[in-house]
Structure 1
Amino acid sequence: MLVVELAFTPTPERLATRPAHRETLARLHADGELAAAGPWADDDGALLVFAVNRGRLEELLDADPYYRRTPGVEVRSVRAWTPVVGVLQPF
């Protein structure tokens, strides 16, 4: 699994692009390529957990303009993650 950490600034472009981005996330989750995603509570960034290899992740990041071409969104890190136990459902 790969974890992507994003940093946000409150630009109008980011907020305008967010609905389409979230639709993409829902599709990736339904397809089994995204395990979990969501913003930090203070909305200064987000964490996404992908169940794909690095090559596929790069394809996904390139296909969604939110990650690399939307002002106010910065990919801070991409790290491999080895979970020990399952992911909880949101409450």
Structure 2
Amino acid sequence: MTYFACHYSYPDGDERIVALRPEHREFLARLKDEGALVASGPYVDGRGSALIILRLPEGAETTDALAVMDEDPFHREGVLAGRDIRPWNPVLSIF
């Protein structure tokens, strides 16, 4: 398997984030059901960001992870302040 770390940044006070959150969570639940989502959730430091860990088939590339995450309503509707998706190597893990 190939892992990717997806870092999201959210704009301060954007009500579109709140409005789209249920659809975003449905998207993540679908990824979990498909076996592609390892974990997701916001950072708790109040800086408006989150981490999503994907597990894609061996040999997957960043473009594959981008294609998956392009379906996220947050991205599709253009409400993210930033998004960074990078390959990740969980050397010590429980995954």
| CA–CA distance in structure 2, aligned partners of residues 87 and 18 of structure 1 | 28
Q: State the Cα distance separating 1:85 from its structure 2 match.
A: 2.3
Tell which deviates more after alignment, 57-66 or 13-22: 57-66
Match of 2:63 among 55, 64, 86: 55
Match of 1:84 in 2: 91
- Counterpart-to-counterpart distance in 2, 1:48 and 1:87: 16
Q: Give distance in 2, aligned partners of 1:76 and 1:64.
A: 11
The secondary structure found in structure 1 opposite 2:81 is strand
How has the CA–CA distance of structure 1 residues 43 and 24 changed in structure 2, closer, same or farther, with 3 Å as cutoff?
farther
Whole-angstrom distance in 1 between the partners of 2:31 and 2:14:
25
Alignment of 1:1-91 (within 5 A): 1-9=3-11, 10-41=13-44, 42=46, 44-52=48-56, 53=60, 54-71=62-79, 73-87=80-94
- Calculate the aligned-residue CA RMSD, in Å: 1.9
Q: List gaps (5 residues or longer) in structure 2.
A: none
**Displacement after TM superposition at 1:37 (Å):** 0.6
Letter aligned with residue 70 of structure 1: G
Cα deviations by residue, 1:48-84 (Å, 9 ceiling, x for unpaired): 111122333222222223124232x133321111102
Count of equivalent residues? 87
- State TM-score, norm by structure 1: 0.80
SS in 1 for 2:53: strand
List gaps (5 residues or longer) in structure 1: none
TM-score in terms of structure 2 length: 0.77
The one-letter code matched in structure 2 to 1:59 is A
